[in-house]
Amino acid sequence: MYREFKHLHLPSIDAEIRQFWEDERIFEQSVEQRPADKSYVFYEGPPSANGKPGIHHVMARTVKDLFCRYNTLKGYRVERKGGWDTHGLPIELQVEKELGITKEDIGKKVTVDEYNQACRSTVMRYKDLWDDITRRMGYWVDLDNPYITFENNYIESCWWILQQLYNKKTPSGESYLYKGFTIQPYSPAAGTGLSSHELNMPGCYKEVTDFSTVAMFKVRLNESSGFLFEDNEEDLRILAWTTTPWTLPSNVALTVGPNIEYAKIQTLSPYTGAPVSVVLAKDRVSAYFNAEDENRPLDDFKVGDKRLPYKVLKTGIKGADLVGIQYEQLLPTPAASTPELEEKGFRVISGDFVTTEDGTGVVHTAPYFGADDFRASKAAGIPFIGIPNPKNPDLPFPLVDKQGKFVQEVPEFGGRYVKAEYYSKEVTSDKEFKPTDLLISLQLKEDNKAFKIEKYKHNYPHCWRTDKPVLYYPLDSWFIRASAAKERMSELNKTINWKPASTGTGRFGQWLDNLQDWNLSRSRYWGVPLPIWRTEDGEEEICIGSVEEMNQEIDKAVKAGVMELNPYSAFAAQDDDEMDTRHKYVYTGDMAIWDILKRFSRDNREEPTEAENMLWQAIRNRQVGGYKFRRQHPIGSFIADFVCISEKLVVEVDGGYHNAKEQRELDEARATYLNNLGFKVLRFTNEAVMEKMEWVLGEIARVLSSPPGPLSKGEGVTSRPASLSVDAKGTRSPSPLERGPGGEDLHRPFIDEVVLVSPSGRPMRRELDLIDVWFDSGSMPYAQWHYPFENQEVFKNNFPANFIAEGVDQTRGWFYTLHAIAVMVFDSVAFKNVVSNGLVLDKEGNKMAKSKGNAVDPFETIAEFGADATRWYMMANANPWDNLKFDTNGILEVRNKLFGTLFNTYNFFALYANLDGFKMDESKVLPYDKRTELDRWVISKLYSLVAEYHEAMNDYEVTRACRAIEEFVDLHLSNWFVRLSRRRFWKGELNEDKTAAYQTLFECLMVTGQLMASVAPFFADWLYRNLTAPIKDTAKANNTPLRHDSVHLSDLTLPDPSKVDKDLEKRMDYAQRICSLALSIRKKEKLRVRLPLQKILLPVLDEAFIAEVDGVKDLILSEINVKEIEFITDASGLLKKGAKANFKTLGAKLGKDMKDAAALIANFSNDDINTLEQSGWLKVLLNGNEYTLTPEDMIISTEDLPGWKVASDGALTVALDVTMTPELQAEGTARDLVNRIQNIRKEKDFNVTDRVTVTLEKHDAILAAVEKFHDYIKAEVLATDLVLADAVEGEKVELDDVVSVGIEVSVN
RNA sequence: AGGGCUAUAGCUCAGUUGGUUAGAGCGCUACACUGAUAAUGUAGAGGUCUCCAGUUCAAAUCUGGAUAGCCCUACCA
């Protein structure tokens, strides 16, 4: 029997199928059953579990999931290793918030170790929620063995990559990993650099009022500036505006826009009245001068006047003309002066970033204190200004120190803080206090170097911790020389298939073209430490690429006496599980025994007993109370069958031999040992596990949830057994976060304790920086496998990825770092196809945000509508890369339209199949040529769909694929095939035609389900399982395609051109259109469909037309309830034709005369058209040009059949004979009666197969019908008797508007 | 500020290499059908294809510009 259902409830289907998947390990099977050498590689971009999953994650993961599933179905092995992104600033910030500390407190109020432990636990805070959404949404990813970026193995791989970069050199010998500096946001108050993330935190940009100054830079008269001067005596100045006057002593250049037009103005210095000529952007003249003052005599001006008389001396000066002009230094610092600076500095340079929106169109440039300034002056070869640095003459020390004070060498202002906010309140509250910016401005005024000083309101970034303004300041950083690989990155990028393509060429491509070096440094605690050790002077350094290498170096250092002992001595490459335990219980015994233990553990894992397997299936995956168990896990010098490390619970399963006395003693000794380590030990027999699993699980759960029992109390636990002590710092008490002493952890602070020895015997300390967390995630192709230290083969088979997908916001994040590292280290792409999905907005198109309250809870959505409808909606509604306006009405629509229709279709199939006792028999499939036209048609449509589906999916166009399925299900399968076939299913016995109908419908449902399986995995599996359940055993026995337990284990139906019959599809298309036209005429003429009509007339379109329509004639006739079709040709003389220009062919031929031709053709008479059709050409004269028209140049159609009721669609025309005869009338009434009787059957809830007796009230209106169609009516309504009576007990039923008759129906 | 994406019916979206009646679904209105029935069909109303200019015989489509929304990047002095 096929299962039948009352209603569609997708969430129940989800639950049923999810349980099935988990019970039967369908995901694992779907991977394992595919050949290992035929892989399709997918990389999971790791989410961070310290935030809750949102609906946009469902979207992103649907994209990931479905292409993996699709390729699995195609026969590829698709491993999906999950991952967790665990480092980074957001996590640090959250931890600091929760601990109530700031960065300064780290190392004081809490130890760095504690701090990092807090990070470690915070990072997985919502892991349960994530695991839950993963399961509920049907995302298949291996969460049992994820890569985790904070694990030592992961970090070690990152180190290896960094070392590769360190050793890699450009052709000119520069390393790809180097130390340099950039201009970065820096908080002198906090003494730390800030990331752009920190700067973008709310409230960081504040409206502040600063002193802005327009300074006058005096131009030197020489060859390049000569053209600007009127005479040798002229005082010519360039005006430049700044909101940070404190940077003026560091000025070395003025930047102009090369294409901006500048003007020279003759005027007076506003503060001194001295005559002066100034240069500024022409567009900015009006900002400083009033047009009314133009050409006013200069003598009019007195110092103190607000308005300046002026005269325009020159315009049309391009910025490019000014480049190279030298000027006198504005505020000289003698100590900073060098010959080189005098020669190359203090000149005009050009920069694209200059605008004329405010200021003067000239940008004062101080390279140490502005990123644009830095770039522009570097490009122009301007040296830096600062106090000479004996070690590096090219990089003098800035004139402002790290506290934000001018260095002593700066005249007048040395020792002053550059920003008022850096002074204490006591200082600034003094009435005499003047901010440095103001003092500088006043001095400029006095020296006749200021043109305008005013207060200026603007947004300025502040340090989020100290609330004081940020400076842009040169900071040391480690960089990856990405710019050196930029061409290669561009080149390889062109081989990547981006969805959408514009992201690859646009956002990503252009980013690559303008690539800057990658600033790796982060001065933080929780992240991958930079593995570089340096001597204090930076002259000797080493980049470490593995733990082993570090250990060797440490040993050297210990020998050399720069370190006391090696805290990492017990450290070796370990697999994750072992690592985890050894963190806490480090084995310090004989390494040979350790190796034996490890081997023993592996062997055990390979040959588990039946009972062990059963228990493992029951407790794995946190099934018991959410606790994680491991199997065959080394604890101290034993291997535990199962262990929950967090709760210190060991579970052992004993075989029969445990009854032996010696074994019992051994077991006891072992238990004592484990108890001493603080473990509880639960022991079950094989029999208990296999027969009383519920009790066993209950016991485990009870112990897990019980308060610490006697075994975990007492001295045995708190004092660490001597054999397990770890390092010299063993006195450190265990932190509350359940972590043993450091020394095994590559994070700070432990790593900072490592001091290495340089070749010359000096100590080298680690560069304190961590690396950008983006480097972590970009390293995942290698680090997830701990490459190259392990899994070299695995890595080889899994690089590069065939496919990745992530939000479009990752373009310059993960997509970039993956690409950059792959190109630089492996000269390869990291991924071949990438789908970047857009945002999920609310239904109004606003961004979702918790603060706005418009965020959608994915758990609620899935619980209400089911995962499949949600997934389908997201994929079908818009392309994944477009933003999605998320509206649950859309999910409802999908549910009703697609899933509802399919559900109904399946139920329909199941209902009748069960009645007929039909079961799909794979061995007795009727050949297609034995099936009806309609069957073959829907099969053809189905395989057309299969072809279209594969084409779309292979191009990662899931939306197209979904829409094609929707169209097939709704339009073709349900609305045409099922509708027209209904009668075949319920009429008569299970004959060949009926079998064909069942088999056809079965195949359609089966294949459609497969195609849907990628996007709607639950429903598709539900459908597949329902369809195949009755024959599963047979299929398995015969090893046929339907033997698989799950659709996800089956082989996807491939395109098969032999099953597609385009001619047949065309015929059916005619049928559908003819029916539609005929029905529309009926509707217009108010002729109900039950009333039969005599015939329709079809003008013949072409030679094949008659044969084509004849093939589907029966369908048409029954669908529109007409007796016959008559074909008419020209010869009948009945047709009135019309012609329309075919613009496509004619346009090219006629050009300008096209419009006139269209008018002419529209007016063609029947004769004109006939002439053209018969002779094949027609000459026309248009605007004096003669053209020859052929039949292809126009579209000819039947416009009308005079005297008939006509409708047309394109070239196709249908005329309906509406003549009524008593015979037809009677048949119509008979059908009406059948309908009314059927309704009564249904109202009375009779069984479909019940035989009945029908009594009809005698009425003139039905006499003819009953007489002529007596047998027909009886047959249709399964009546054994049909009698007429004068009076009927049953109710009166309306036959039409005027007639009602009594009808009584009773079961025999 | 720079780069990118988007703009078509009340809503969500299609719209091929430019070709003359701009489509679909939902919603709305009317009707029909009924052994899929809390299902289904047919029809109708509903459009300045965001705006401006250009190329062309012909533009929703190509080009340029503008406007709006969103994303990424960025110290506008």
In one-letter notation, the amino acid at residue A628 is K
* Residue A1150 C-alpha from the chain's centroid: 51
Q: What are phi and psi of A285, to 5 degrees?
A: -55, -40
Distance CA A1300, CA A1291 (A): 10
Please confirm whether the linkage preceding A461 is cis (ω < 30° from 0): no
A968/B69 CA-to-C1' distance in Å: 35
Whether the CB-CB separation of A645 and A630 falls below 8 Å is answered with yes
A809/B71 CA-to-C1' distance in Å: 7
- What's the pTM? 0.79
A1144/B17 CA-to-C1' distance in Å: 12
Q: Which two tokens stand for residue A1279?
A: 């009546």
Q: Taking the CB of residue A33, how many other CB atoms lie within 10 A of it? A: 12
A1149/B17 CA-to-C1' distance in Å: 18
* Residue at minimum CA to C1' distance from nucleotide B26: A893
Q: What is the largest CA-CA distance in chain A?
A: 130
List Cα–Cα distances, A376 to A255, A360, A384, A873, A1237, in angstroms: 8, 18, 12, 50, 91
The bridge status of strand A840-841 relative to strand A884-885 is parallel
Q: Which residues are A1124's β-sheet partners?
A: A1095
A885/B8 CA-to-C1' distance in Å: 17
DSSP tag of A733: P
DSSP tag of A489: H
The bridge status of strand A471-480 relative to strand A347-350 is unpaired
Give me the pLDDT at residue A1202, please: 74
Shortest-distance nucleotide from A1162 CA to C1':
B20
Q: In sequence order, what are the residues at sequence separation of 6 or more whose Cβ sits closer than 8 angstroms to the Cβ of residue A302?
A: A273
Shortest-distance nucleotide from A1086 CA to C1':
B31
- Using alpha carbons only, give the angle A474, A479, A482 rounded to the nearest 5 degrees: 125
Q: Where are the beta strands (DSSP E) in A362-502?
A: 362-365, 450-461, 471-480, 497-499
**What three-state secondary structure class fits A201?**
coil
Its sign, for the CA torsion A843, A844, A848, A853, is negative
Distance CA A687, CA A674 (A): 24
Q: Taking the CB of residue A1188, how many other CB atoms lie within 10 A of it? A: 11
* Residue at minimum CA to C1' distance from nucleotide B30: A1083
A437/B68 CA-to-C1' distance in Å: 41
Give me the pLDDT at residue A585, please: 39
Q: In sequence order, what are the residues at sequence separation of 6 or more whose Cβ sits closer than 8 angstroms to the Cβ of residue A305?
A: A270
Question: Which candidate, A36, A123, A43, A87, places its Cα nearest to that of A785?
Answer: A43
Shortest-distance nucleotide from A8 CA to C1':
B38
Distance CA A688, CA A668 (A): 20
In strand B, the nucleotides that come within 7 Å of a protein beta carbon are 1, 3-6, 11-14, 19-21, 25-26, 31-43, 56-58, 69-77
DSSP tag of A1122: E
Give me the pLDDT at residue A372, please: 78
**What three-state secondary structure class fits A228?**
helix
Shortest-distance nucleotide from A244 CA to C1':
B77
Shortest-distance nucleotide from A847 CA to C1':
B70
Distance CA A694, CA A688 (A): 9
Whether the CB-CB separation of A418 and A403 falls below 8 Å is answered with no
Shortest-distance nucleotide from A470 CA to C1':
B75
* Residue at minimum CA to C1' distance from nucleotide B20: A1143
A932/B27 CA-to-C1' distance in Å: 38
Q: Which two tokens stand for residue A649?
A: 């619970």
A54/B7 CA-to-C1' distance in Å: 27
Give me the pLDDT at residue A588, please: 41
* Residue at minimum CA to C1' distance from nucleotide B34: A1235
DSSP A20-77: HHHHHTHHHHHHHTS-TTSB--B-PPPPPTTS---HHHHHHHHHHHHHHHHHHHTT-B
Q: Which two tokens stand for residue A31?
A: 């991977």
A914/B61 CA-to-C1' distance in Å: 53
Whether the CB-CB separation of A1046 and A1029 falls below 8 Å is answered with no
Please confirm whether the linkage preceding A202 is cis (ω < 30° from 0): no
Shortest-distance nucleotide from A1239 CA to C1':
B34
Q: Which two tokens stand for residue A668?
A: 């006891």
DSSP A873-905: HHHHHS-TTS-EE--HHHHHHHIIIIIIHHHHH
A214/B65 CA-to-C1' distance in Å: 35
Q: Which two tokens stand for residue A784?
A: 């997830």
A842/B50 CA-to-C1' distance in Å: 22
Q: How many CA atoms lie within 13 A of A1026 on its CB side?
A: 27
* Residue at minimum CA to C1' distance from nucleotide B37: A1242
Shortest-distance nucleotide from A902 CA to C1':
B36
Give me the pLDDT at residue A201, please: 59
A513/B69 CA-to-C1' distance in Å: 28
* Residue at minimum CA to C1' distance from nucleotide B41: A975
A393 burial (CB, 10 Å; 0-12 / 13-18 / 19+) is exposed
In one-letter notation, the amino acid at residue A1296 is D
Residue with tokens 């567009």: A283
Distance CA A523, CA A519 (A): 12
The bridge status of strand A801-807 relative to strand A261-268 is unpaired
* Residue at minimum CA to C1' distance from nucleotide B2: A353
Distance CA A287, CA A241 (A): 12
Question: Which candidate, A39, A235, A319, A27, places its Cα nearest to that of A144?
Answer: A27
A1294/B62 CA-to-C1' distance in Å: 63
Q: Taking the CB of residue A1167, how many other CB atoms lie within 10 A of it? A: 9
Q: pLDDT tens digits for A761-802?
A: 999 999 988 888 889 989 999 999 999 998 999 999 999 999
DSSP A274-304: -EEEEEEEGGGHHHHS-GGGBT--GGG--TT
Torsion of CA A88, A91, A95, A97, to 10 degrees: 110
Shortest-distance nucleotide from A459 CA to C1':
B75
Shortest-distance nucleotide from A1146 CA to C1':
B19
**What three-state secondary structure class fits A544?**
coil
A572/B40 CA-to-C1' distance in Å: 69
Give me the pLDDT at residue A1223, please: 86
Question: Which candidate, A546, A776, A570, A747, places its Cα nearest to that of A120?
Answer: A747
Whether the CB-CB separation of A752 and A768 falls below 8 Å is answered with yes
ipTM for the complex? 0.89
Whether the CB-CB separation of A112 and A525 falls below 8 Å is answered with yes
* Residue A1284 C-alpha from the chain's centroid: 71
Q: pLDDT tens digits for A992-1039?
A: 889 999 999 999 999 999 999 999 999 999 999 999 999 999 999 999
In one-letter notation, the amino acid at residue A422 is Y
Which parts of chain A register pLDDT below 70?
103-104, 195-203, 205, 207, 464-465, 569-608, 621-622, 625-626, 633-639, 646, 655-666, 669, 673, 676-677, 705-743, 849-852, 1131-1132, 1290, 1296-1298
What's the 3-state SS for A1038-1066? Answer: HCCHHHCCCHHHCCCCCCCHHHCCHHHHH
- Using alpha carbons only, give the angle A502, A508, A509 rounded to the nearest 5 degrees: 85
Shortest-distance nucleotide from A1235 CA to C1':
B34
CA-based R_g, chain A, Å = 42
Q: Which two tokens stand for residue A831?
A: 């991924």
